């Protein structure tokens, strides 16, 4: 190969001064290789090689070539695609509607899409860096290849038992039938009995509803999840009942972070610091009894100005106070380091450049690719998982007996 390249450069008086020259040579070599391989494909299809008419056993024959522009990591190049007279031959190396060659380039496009770049940004980026002209529609076709993989990922088998499953929905604007509508993306994030974190599912639906969550619960059951020890959810009406219908033994913890956010939504900036300090005395109390006493003190101090806050905490106390039954390590797992909040924040960071998505599929593609990008860093379990696991074994001993977990 070295001798061949040396002769090629010498005989054609080619000097390499920079990366552009290298790209040009690689493009020429790739073109020759592809055209040779395509001619071999047609030889096999027809059953005889060019000019070998004595072995011809078909009424079909070669019919020249058609030119096709292919996008590669080395730039655009023209490839001569052989044709047959009967039109029976369909190239396999470069398929009928394919206009990209290297998997490497497609991976670059998918990686940029996963980072939240728009198709327009990707188009200009590819032109500036690789001197490749690639259209929005081509980028969409490349990213569309992800959709069957997303479906397979959504239906993959899961673990039998999860220690905690966090469930939440984030909202995006999507164009539908000429209108801009709001879509809820339902996310279930689980921590298994080995302490490993994983996104169990992600689904695009209409505005968040308990009915849709019920279908997701049934989906998790069908994918092998027999038990969820603790489910951490937002304050959506009917959510606990939807979980109970499928997993009657699961203990429900309403997300403290969501509750705090909803409680302080309309508080004056002058009061927010003092009010948050008093509210922290409630949710960070060492025992439920102390928390209830602090909640009453909070009512006496703030009820005249913000009556809805106390009422909300009081009405939802049954699911807000679940974590008080657990030991400290388990309690921290549930509300102090809420896993799904961090995950959602990373998704929003990726999608912040997209105010409106052209379709539900476009939204799902970007979120799936972003999820794969985010979760590849989730390689181990929490450092304190040994302590958490032993406490879970004690608290949920009856449910874990016989499962070897």
Tell whether the model's pLDDT for residue 126 goes beyond 80. no
Backbone angles phi, psi at 396, to 5 degrees: -110, 35
* Across 219-230, average pLDDT: 95
Tokens of 270: 């002058």
* Across 351-356, average pLDDT: 85
- With a threshold of 0.85, does the pTM exceed it? no
Distance CA 333, CA 341 (A): 13
H-type helices in 176-229, by residue range?
210-222
Listing DSSP states for 87-101 in one string gives S----SSS-TT--B-
pLDDT (0 to 100) of residue 132: 67
Query: pLDDT tens digits, residue range 374-404?
Result: 998 888 887 889 888 888 888 888 888 766 5
pLDDT bin (cut points 50, 70, 90) of residue 172 is very high
* Across 119-145, average pLDDT: 75
- In this structure, what DSSP letter does residue 250 have? P
Name the 3-class secondary structure at 381.
strand
pLDDT bin (cut points 50, 70, 90) of residue 336 is low
Parallel, antiparallel, or unpaired: how do β-strands 197-205 and 179-192 relate?
A: antiparallel
Tell whether the model's pLDDT for residue 226 goes beyond 90. yes
**Residues 6 or more apart from 190 whose CB is under 8 A from it?**
158, 159, 162, 164, 165, 166, 197, 198, 200, 228
pLDDT (0 to 100) of residue 102: 57
Tell whether the model's pLDDT for residue 324 goes beyond 60. yes
Distance of CA 295 to the CA centre of its chain: 39
- Give the Å distances, CA to CA, from 115 to 24, 37, 261, 352, 373: 29, 36, 28, 10, 8
Tell whether the model's pLDDT for residue 218 goes beyond 90. yes
Query: pLDDT tens digits, residue range 12-28?
Result: 777 787 777 777 777 77
Distance CA 65, CA 94 (A): 14
Q: Are 324 and 287 in contact (CB under 8 A)?
A: yes
Place of tokens 């951490």: 232
Distance CA 309, CA 267 (A): 10
Distance CA 171, CA 256 (A): 20
CA angle 356, 357, 358 (to 5 degrees): 115
Tokens of 333: 């797992």
Exposure string of 112-129, with b = 16+ CB inside 10 Å and e = fewer, is bbbbbbebeebbebbeee
pLDDT (0 to 100) of residue 208: 82
The neighbour count for residue 270, using CB atoms within 10 Å, is: 8
Q: Are 201 and 219 in contact (CB under 8 A)?
A: yes
Q: Are 230 and 327 in contact (CB under 8 A)?
A: no
Tell whether the model's pLDDT for residue 156 goes beyond 70. yes
pLDDT bin (cut points 50, 70, 90) of residue 234 is confident
pLDDT bin (cut points 50, 70, 90) of residue 146 is confident
Q: Return the percentage of the chain with pLDDT > 70, whole number.
A: 95
pLDDT (0 to 100) of residue 101: 62
Distance CA 69, CA 31 (A): 10
Distance CA 71, CA 222 (A): 43
């Amino acid at each position: 190969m070295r001798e061949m390249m040396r002769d090629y450069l010498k005989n054609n008086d080619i000097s390499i001064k920079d990366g552009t020259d290298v790209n040009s040579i690689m493009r020429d070599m790739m073109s020759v290789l592809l055209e040779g391989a395509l001619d071999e494909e047609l030889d096999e299809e027809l059953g005889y090689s060019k000019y070998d008419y004595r072995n011809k056993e078909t009424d079909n024959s070669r019919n020249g070539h058609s030119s096709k522009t292919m996008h590669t990591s080395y730039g655009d190049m023209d490839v001569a695609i052989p044709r047959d007279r009967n039109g029976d031959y369909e190239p396999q190396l470069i398929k009928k509607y394919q206009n990209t060659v290297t998997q490497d380039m497609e991976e670059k496009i998918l990686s940029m899409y996963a980072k939240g770049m728009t198709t327009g940004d990707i188009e200009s980026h590819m032109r500036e860096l690789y001197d490749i002209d690639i259209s929005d529609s081509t980028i969409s076709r490349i990213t569309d290849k992800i959709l069957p993989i997303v479906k397979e990922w959504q239906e993959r088998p899961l673990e039998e038992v999860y220690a905690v499953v966090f469930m939440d929905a984030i909202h995006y604007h999507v164009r539908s039938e000429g209108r801009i509508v709001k879509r809820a993306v339902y996310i279930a994030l689980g921590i298994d009995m080995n302490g490993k974190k994983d996104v169990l599912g992600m689904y695009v639906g209409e505005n968040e509803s308990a009915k849709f969550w019920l279908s997701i619960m049934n989906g998790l059951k069908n994918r092998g999840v027999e038990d969820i020890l603790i489910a951490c959810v937002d304050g959506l009406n009917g959510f606990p009942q939807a979980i109970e219908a499928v997993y009657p033994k699961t203990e429900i913890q309403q997300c403290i972070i969501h509750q705090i956010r909803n409680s302080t939504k309309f508080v004056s900036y002058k009061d927010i610091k003092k009010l948050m300090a008093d509210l922290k005395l409630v949710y960070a109390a060492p025992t439920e009894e102390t928390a209830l006493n602090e909640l009453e003190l909070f009512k006496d101090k703030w009820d005249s100005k913000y009556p809805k806050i106390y009422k909300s905490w009081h009405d939802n106390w049954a699911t807000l106070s679940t974590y008080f039954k657990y030991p400290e390590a388990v309690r921290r797992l549930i509300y102090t380091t809420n896993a799904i909040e961090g995950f959602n924040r990373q998704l929003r960071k990726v999608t912040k450049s997209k105010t409106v998505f052209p379709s539900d599929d476009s939204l799902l593609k970007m979120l799936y690719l972003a999820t794969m990008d985010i979760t590849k860093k989730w390689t181990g379990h929490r450092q304190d998982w040994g302590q958490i696991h032993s406490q879970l074994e004690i608290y949920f001993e009856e449910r874990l007996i016989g499962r070897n977990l």
